[in-house]
Structure 1
Amino acid sequence: MLLSKNLKHLRTSQNLTQAELSEKLGVQRTMISAYEDGRSEPKLTALTVMAELFNVSMDELLYHDIEEKGRKAVQNKATKILTIAVDADDRESITMVGQKASAGYLNGFADPEYMESLPQFRLPNLASNQTYRAFEIAGDSMLPLVPGTLIVGGYVEQLKDIKSGKTYILVTATEGVVYKRVFNYLAENGKLFLVSDNEHYKPYEIKGEDIMEVWEAKAFISTDFPNPKDRNNPMTIEDLSKMILDLKSEIIKMKVDKQ
């Protein structure tokens, strides 16, 4: 059983002292020390409070090495229940989130009044069984798509459904709204690896628990026409395989640097 190790890791990661945790659990501080040393085991009521406090399942708390393997529960985390807009015929519309609206979206995506204030439109040839949202991208990190391009994304309900190598709009608590090529390492370390198609930008990691919404890129709208070279030279399977190998090498290097 990994309770003692997990408890100490979760407590310190949230900057809680043993005294502060003992107050939340309603036990003596010396009991927290005993739990973390493995000299005593908490009662079921205390375990339940721990699981709720640290937002983990009981199984994860007791039997999963959270420090070494990362969060397990986040793999099956449903991102959220969506607030959607419909037209007069009760048909779901695509809500557009412009660059200037991105900051407000982080605070208002669950507010029906805010969502209704954003522009709405419809597009043909999109599957009718999915919710879509359009985000205007900024910067040149995803060339050849230029700043101002609208990325139309289909809603992804669970983080585990993110497919490595595909592009996604991620609404995050730490990075805001970003459009990146994503590699899914949630099962290994509880993180996603975000890569720009423009090689001048370095890839970086983001914790699964910091993801608020995920939208898989389905279409884009732009007033800038792609260069013929871009259309004739799409990313191949070989290119993607090489990218994955390079990314794994980069992740290993990052882990070594942290040690």
Structure 2
Amino acid sequence: MESANVFFNSNLKLLRNRRKNSQEQQAQLLGYTRSKYTALENGQTGNPPLVDLVKISNFFKVTLDDLLKSDLSRWSELELRKLETGDLEYISGKKMRLLSITVNSENKENLEYIPVKAKAGYIAGHADPEFIAKLPKFTMPNLPQGTFRMFPIGGNSMLPIVPGSDFIGQFVEDWRTLKSRIPCVLVMNGAQDFVFKFVTIGEGYFLLESLNAVEQAPYTVDFSEVLEIWKFYSYQSRQMPEPTSDVQQLKELVTEALADLKYLKDKE
């Protein structure tokens, strides 16, 4: 069965070994005969019945999607430990909820817009289909596949993206897909505003950094404080960007030179 990026057999063996169970012991825990379990783990069962996949998924507290399509041997020790304690949902964001969306007459997803006056209401109503249905909505050409939403941006921490711009973000279903310093809007639990920052995932927390470091120093938030993450796709602004000053150009050149020096030093 382990073809076309299906990792069921190797994942089953890895999960069993992490619990230090023999094949005989694991078979008993699942209510199988030794021969049936061995056939499943060794790939001798070409198309395992769905009922068996669900039983194994529930036993190891891993989603069917990850059990079949994720190479668990590539997961970090933190992710595997979280999986075994039932806390993996906080890393992936899957513990939050299913996203409420709206569609147009052609059954294509709308791009909902959260106006400034609806910011506080969105925190409370983000999981309410009726609230989402009342938001302004429109379509945009050339959007890739996925779910998108538009958020108004305030504050000076992400200059030169000016306050009053509108951020278009793509919904991040699995937080583990975020790389280092990805610009995102975070919808925070209990907050009255959205947080627009560079996001880096840590062990149980997100590191948030501003584009304008003078305005705000980096800080961290726990996974449990975050309701939704929307990865930057584009933004709209009614203000022309300011021309780059000579001082700013010099600063950028120095920054690039320092980065090149660090790269050369690391190669030594």
TM-score range, shorter chain: 0.5 to 0.7
Q: Which residue in 2 is equivalent to 1:117?
A: 134
Q: Which residue in 1 is equivalent to 2:173?
A: 157
Q: Is the 8 A contact 1:131 1:154 kept in 2?
A: yes
Q: Is the 8 A contact 2:100 2:126 kept in 1?
A: yes
Asked if 1:171 is matched to 2:187, the reply is yes
Q: Which has the higher contact order (CA 8 A, sep 6+)?
A: 1
Question: Residue 209 of structure 1 aligns to a residue in which SS?
Answer: helix
Distance 1:110 1:181 in 2: 25
Q: Which residue in 2 is equivalent to 1:194?
A: 208
Q: Is the 8 A contact 1:169 1:217 kept in 2?
A: yes
Distance 1:93 1:81 in 2: 16
Q: How many equivalent pairs are there?
A: 172
Question: What whole-Å deviation, never above 9, does each CA across 1:103-146 have from its counterpart, x for those lacking one?
Answer: 1001111112211211111111210x200000001111110111
Selected match of 1:104 from 121, 141, 163: 121
Following superposition, which runs of at least 4 residues in structure 1 exceed 6 angstroms of deviation? Answer: none
1:148, distance to aligned residue in structure 2 (A): 1.1
Question: What whole-Å deviation, never above 9, does each CA across 1:122-179 have from its counterpart, x for those lacking one?
Answer: 111210x200000001111110111111100001001211221110010111444211
Asked if 1:205 is matched to 2:220, the reply is yes
Larger radius of gyration: 2
Letter of the structure 2 residue corresponding to residue 211 of structure 1: V
Selected match of 2:152 from 112, 132, 136: 136
Distance 2:165 2:152 in 1: 6
TM-score, structure 1 normalization = 0.59
Q: Is the 8 A contact 2:92 2:173 kept in 1?
A: no
Q: Is the 8 A contact 2:186 2:226 kept in 1?
A: yes
Letter of the structure 1 residue corresponding to residue 216 of structure 2: Y
Q: Which residue in 1 is equivalent to 2:84?
A: 59
**Matched residues, percent identical?**
31
Q: Is the 8 A contact 1:72 1:190 kept in 2?
A: no
Distance 2:204 2:85 in 1: 13
Question: Residue 131 of structure 2 aligns to a residue in which SS?
Answer: helix
Distance 1:124 1:58 in 2: 39
Q: Which runs of 5+ in 2 are unaligned?
A: 1-80, 263-268
Structure 1 pair 174–192 and aligned structure 2 pair: CA distance change class (3 A) = farther
Distance 2:133 2:83 in 1: 40
Question: What whole-Å deviation, never above 9, does each CA across 1:4-27 have from its counterpart, x for those lacking one?
Answer: xxxxxxxxxxxxxxxxxxxxxxxx
Which residues in structure 2 correspond to 1:235-246 (within 5 Å)? Answer: none
Distance 1:152 1:196 in 2: 18
Letter of the structure 2 residue corresponding to residue 88 of structure 1: S
Distance 1:134 1:167 in 2: 14
1:203, distance to aligned residue in structure 2 (A): 1.5
Letter of the structure 1 residue corresponding to residue 84 of structure 2: D
TM-score, structure 2 normalization = 0.57
Distance 1:100 1:228 in 2: 32
Selected match of 1:181 from 184, 198, 212: 198
1:229, distance to aligned residue in structure 2 (A): 2.8
